[in-house]
Structure 1
């Protein structure tokens, strides 16, 4: 779920009074710092994370690595909420590039205090537009956090980027996409079977019925789920997947 930012209450550092700067790490490991407005053309979808994903005994969050079919590589996450959001970004057919902890954003607040923030994700769409994503449960957004999110929104506005503040996504959609994600790897795309499935679902029909038309469901279903992940076929993900769910050609 994406939610609008609310005004930051008094007593917090407040919005930026001076221009933004960014620090990012290129693929070769070199660090660059420059004004944000000079960095609009940087391919942030290809940079290295500006900070690591650490594990330690007793930590509240569960970090890890998500293998992304979009970039054919791993994307880090610091919590299961972030994992769900990076999974949904990976599933989004309009997203062509993706990185985690893409840059440090620096600015000076109205009270003269220097502040920094590293957004969770950067995504690039097919049309070249960009999305910066932060993930935080709605009930865990402290005033200082909201101030940072508000400043990040302003920085994105300067460059014409979209900013998303993601809370807990719809659990039914997450559950369905998580199931399909188990078949996201290209090894599940077996073209002779995929061709039969495209023919079987040329018109909408129940999932298991169409899979049976293409062959042994045990062998066919992994390929079908891969086609659903790749959006070559479509199914309603707002309700739990089931044997009679209608699968159809993807509407572009």
Structure 2
């Protein structure tokens, strides 16, 4: 049985400047699963994520989050919906002037105003879960690229969100570290059960850690399927794109008689 969608985009259009980026996106994100969005650079993957969290509003179309069309909400109500989300950016977006501990504690202090003892407990717990135990005193400038990603993930997790959006979270990492960060994200997703939506260019790795894969092409969704089915697609555009990762030849030899 297919899981219920928690996010639905219906015929979403968006033009930025003179470029029509989204040309009628229709997509359903299954609740409690890992969905990865792939596609060429400039196809609008990050723009799509920003619509899901309400950072951008569609020119036309609907964006539903658990039965609420956020494209029609006023700011106060939209902020309430956003509390269910966290987002991990490419750069991890850490505050350079704050320690790792204070970076992770920041949303707890700003949004929940929890007692110091509870803040300390939550932050220490999340740092340990992402492999940064004992590193809270360090500043971002003292961290490696992989450690910055871990700190960003800890900050995303600390508010215990229902949905986390990942915008190319392994950008700038070597292949081995990228694999480690993907495995950590997947482990956290399985442990806590949040809905994950990831934009990634890591082909073919995405097929091993994603429950579902969607590909955006020419402003629409060219293909959306469970990972195991996606790799069997016969769509020539999709096959050509994922062949770059060595999944199969660009021009497979025909077996027709």
TM-score of Structure 1 vs Structure 2, range by shorter chain: under 0.3
Calculate the TM-score normalised by the size of structure 1.
Answer: 0.25
Higher relative contact order (CA 8 A, sep 6+): 2
**Scaled by the length of structure 2, what TM-score is found?**
0.25
State which structure, 1 or 2, has the greater radius of gyration over its C-alpha atoms.
Answer: 1
